[in-house]
Structure 1
Amino acid sequence: MTSTPTQAVADRLRANHGTALTLGAGCKLPDDLMIEIDPGAHLTIGDRVSIRRGSTIQVHRGATVAIGNDVAIGEHTFISAMAGIRLGDGCALSNMVDLHDHNHRPRTPANVPTSKLVLWASGFEAAPIIVEPGAILSNKVTVTAGVRIGANTRVGANAVVSHSIAPDTVAAGVPASVRRHFDGVPTTAHEDRRTLTIGFFGTSIMEHLEAFNAQMTTQADLPEVGSKVTVEGWHRRGWVHRLTLSLRAARAHVAFEMRNHGEGGATSRDVAGIVEADRATTGVDYDLVFLGCGINDVWRRFQNRLSEAIDLGEYTRHMNTMLEQLTGYTRQVIVIGETPFGPVEDPETVAAMNTELARYNEAARTAAAAHGALFLDVWAPFTAAARHLPADDATGGVWSDDVHLTELGDTILLQQTEHLLTEHRIIEALLDYPLLERDQALAVYGPLFARHRPAPV
């Protein structure tokens, strides 16, 4: 039987690369296809893949390139991986598309201790590129390291995609920006969802426990007015719960793992212990952390619980210690200033309490700046709402007991938090995979590509 040109190319590639290459059936491959696979690397090409002339695929040491089924790759396309690149089923790359999942590291003294003027002396940093099923990249699109392009998304010609793009989106420009969204078709092949891990460390303002009974929330089986129900447990509610719902509603294609470590009555000393214990027991790396405490540090002194009160010096030490720890394994930390006290005592005492609490908030702001964290000051919008609401307002005001918050108070915190996230484009930045030193990137991102590599013998 006479071999077709494509079959001859496939036979040659299999002979050249052996087990480093997994090549599916029914592929259309050009004679001049250039494939380079370094030791420890792997290239998987699915079934019915079409690659046009002049294209190159480089898979550097230890990396993975996984091309799904029914993928079309145009002429003179260049794919180069040091961590990993994944093309989902049915996606299309037009002519002269460039995908590089790595960059040269900056030529700093730390990266080039010998000051050698060699192009690669500073080493490389890498992060995955993932193109989900059904996405289309038009002519001359460039995709940079750490980017994820959602299913069905279409990127216009000559665009530079330097940040992740949601599914069912049209994007264009340099850098690529969203032009519109559309109702995309369901994809038959589902990629692993992007997951962001968000932690909350603070007091009852974050914990916000609420008693529940399933009958209380089942609309078809609500208890009679005046009847009794049994408390079955506690839900965490408040502004943290609302933020969770808001993030999931706005970005349904992203998985959010929310870890609320808020604890009622906690001082900065207690929260510092929670942060340390969490790291020691779970070892979780966070994408985003919210940190807030101080109200109980101040309140305990005015309650005459002096053994539990934390003075400003100790509070500052705890904040700096926590921020030093958290910034070591968290991509973005946000310190939230405490909300003021309501009329929990006589007006003169409350004024003194709030004067003191304001000093703690300022210390938190200073500590945040010193550690590269953001500070969210909620004092002014909170007091403005409290000042303008009538005393007999039907909403109950902003405090439920002049310390803890009502739904309205929680909504103010939610709005201020969402504004900060939007202003700094924090979630958008976190959806990109962070660039890591080459060998670290292979270790950290390896699990994303494990199922696309043959099992170890």
Structure 2
Amino acid sequence: MTSTSTTPPRQSAAERLRAEHGPALTLGDDCDLPDDLQVEIDPGAHLSLGDRVSIRRGSTIQVHRGATIAIGDDVAIGEHTFISAMVGISIGAGAALSNMVDLHDHNHRARSATNTPDGELVPCASGFEGAPIVIEPGATLSNKVTITAGVRIGANALVGANAVVSRSIAPDTVATGVPATGHRTFDGVPVPREHPRTLTVGFFGTSIMEHLEAVNAQMTTQANLPEVGSKVTVEGWAQRGWVHRLTLSLRAAWAHIAFDVRNHGEGGATSRDIAGIVEADRATTGTDYDIVFLGCGINDVWRGFQGRVSEAVDLEEYTRHLTGMLDQLSGYTRRIVVISETPFGPIEDPDTVTSMNAELARYNAAAAQAAAAHGALFLDVWAPFTAAARHLTGDPAGLWSDGVHLTELGDTVLLQQTERLLAEHRIVEKLLDYPLLERHAALKAYAPMFARHRPAGA
């Protein structure tokens, strides 16, 4: 009598994971997964792996309740790597994670009285905060790299071994260290971009921010300029001046970032008017800003010297309006810069101008105090402006077109001071990180970034 025995075919890692997690897992074709890969997917969470994903032994992927992890095509993940999401982690196509890389998109919140009102001495009593981690296509993370919550690694970036990346890294950049910083750039290959970073920048102020100029397309088309002595028709108005030039400077310096610039400057506006503009903007658009530049006061003072008493705003009312705007803007703006007003130029006789500037200086001092009380930066352009006027050869009045509005040279002084402040405080670099939010708020706020990686209705 002959007996035969059959051994069931060995189940692959992919088959095991599909059986364990069902629709919570989207798994592409031709993936190379180790038998000991640990995958934990909580209810309401989703893990998506693209085609030809390779993961080496000893690695763990955790997708906590409601979160999403999306790993693109042709991603390679080394041994003993740990990936844990409470909000969302995106790893772009062709990215490479070496051995013992750690990605956590969340932190324990501080064990403060607010976060632990019951005073519980248990590990998770204070709750969690989180923000997405985005690793763009083609990026490479070397051995033992740690990526913290809210960080974006640019396309093709190369992060050196043992680095701790707590700030976003630009594309085509070599970064090393603790904390990791970029040391050099290179000519990277073109890669697809997913949900590129956009910074929303708001300007609230007077005509010095608005800076309208007459526009005719022919006037700016180098190949079709009008003949000298000919006439052109004004076709409209465009905002130029230092705000326009700063916008161009930001876009040139940070070409991989989109800047949504909203200039709400208004000619002739007092602090009373600008407070209304801030209120109306929030009520009608609901815009959250990454950075706001706020400046006012010159018209508050000027109206009094013009005899337009009903339109003038005294210092007490000015301070009240400015404080109110800072209170409101602080609720939905990540960084606020209060800009001092520029001094009056030769708009009246010298004694009157001296009196006007003495009064305007009091408003600027109040603005500096209000900014400090709200944790906003204060940019004092008064001192460099008066220094430039004092030392300017040939035409000391060359900073003003009419004693109030600025020439291109005056605009350049403002531009330089603003760029210096941005660089000194590394404002743009810090704003590139995704803001940390309480865990549940973060899931709601960042859900649109990961919607396409989840099944319909999930």
Do both proteins adopt the same fold according to a TM-score greater than 0.5, normalized to the shorter chain? yes
Pair 1:152-2:165 in alignment: no
Q: Hey, what's the Cα distance between the residues in 2 that align with 1:136 and 1:390?
A: 53
Q: Secondary structure at the match of 1:179?
A: strand
Give the alignment's Cα RMSD to 1 decimal: 1.2
Q: Could you tell me how far 1:3 is from its partner in structure 2?
A: 9.8
Q: Residue in 2 aligned with 1:25?
A: 29
- Residue of 179, 201, 206 corresponding to 2:204: 201
Report the Cα distance in structure 2 between the residues aligned to 1:95 and 1:389, rounded to whole angstroms.
Answer: 60
Q: CA deviation at 1:390?
A: 3.1
The amino acid that maps onto 1:125 is E
Partner of residue 411, structure 1: 412
Matches of 1:414 and 1:297 in 2, distance apart?
23
Partner of 1:264: 267
Q: Which residue of structure 2 lines up, in the alignment, with residue 314 of structure 1?
A: 317
Alignment deviations for residues 395-451 of structure 1 (CA, whole Å, 9 cap, x no partner): x71101110000110011010001111111111110000100000000001111111
- In structure 2, C-alpha distance between the alignment counterparts of 1:230 and 1:38, rounded to whole Å: 65
Counterpart pick for 2:384 among 336, 361, 381: 381
Following superposition of structure 1 onto structure 2, how do residues 424-435 of structure 1 map, counting pairs within 5 Å? 424-435=425-436
Q: Return the offset for 1:97.
A: 0.1
How has the CA–CA distance of structure 1 residues 353 and 4 changed in structure 2, closer, same or farther, with 3 Å as cutoff? farther
Q: How does 1:44-443 map to 2 (within 5 A)?
A: 44-187=48-191, 189-392=192-395, 397-443=398-444
Distance in 2, Cα, partners of 1:24 & 1:304: 74
**Percent identity over paired residues:** 77
Deviation at 1:241, TM superposition (A): 0.4
Q: In 2, Cα distance between the equivalents of 1:317 and 1:296? A: 16
The change in CA–CA distance for 1:271 and 1:120 in structure 2 (over 3 A counts) is same
> 1:401 corresponds to which letter in structure 2?
D
Deviation at 1:190, TM superposition (A): 1.9
Residues of 1 paired with 2:68 and 2:328: CA distance? 33
Number of residue equivalences: 452
State how far apart, in whole Å, the 2-side matches of 1:297 and 1:250 are.
36
Residue 4 of structure 1 and its aligned partner are, at CA, apart by 8.7
CA distance in 2, matches of 1:265, 1:11: 70
Q: How far apart are residue 392 of structure 1 and its match?
A: 3.9
1:455 corresponds to 2:450 = no
Amino acid at match of 1:183: D
Shift of 1:278: 0.2
Which ranges of structure 1 fall in alignment gaps of 5 or more residues? none
Structure 2 CA distance, aligned partners of 1:330 and 1:281? 16
Question: Residues of 2 paired with 1:242 and 1:130: CA distance?
Answer: 30
Distance 1:339 1:391 in 2: 21
Deviations 1:62-85 (A, max 9, x none): 000000000000000000000000
**1:71-107, Cα deviation, whole Å (9 max, x unpaired):** 0000000000000000000000000000000000001
Deviation at 1:391, TM superposition (A): 4.4
Q: Deviations over 1:199-236 (max 9, x none)?
A: 00000000000111010011111101111101111110
SS of the residue corresponding to residue 375 of structure 1 reads strand
Q: How does 1:2-21 map to 2 (within 5 A)?
A: 8-21=12-25
**Normalising by the residue count of structure 2, what TM-score does the alignment of the two structures yield?**
0.97
1: CA distance between counterparts of 2:235 and 2:9? Answer: 69
Question: What is the CA–CA distance in structure 2 between the aligned matches of 1:152 and 1:307, rounded to whole Å?
Answer: 60
Instruction: Quickly say closer, same or farther: Cα 1:153–1:4, change in 2 above 3 A.
Output: farther
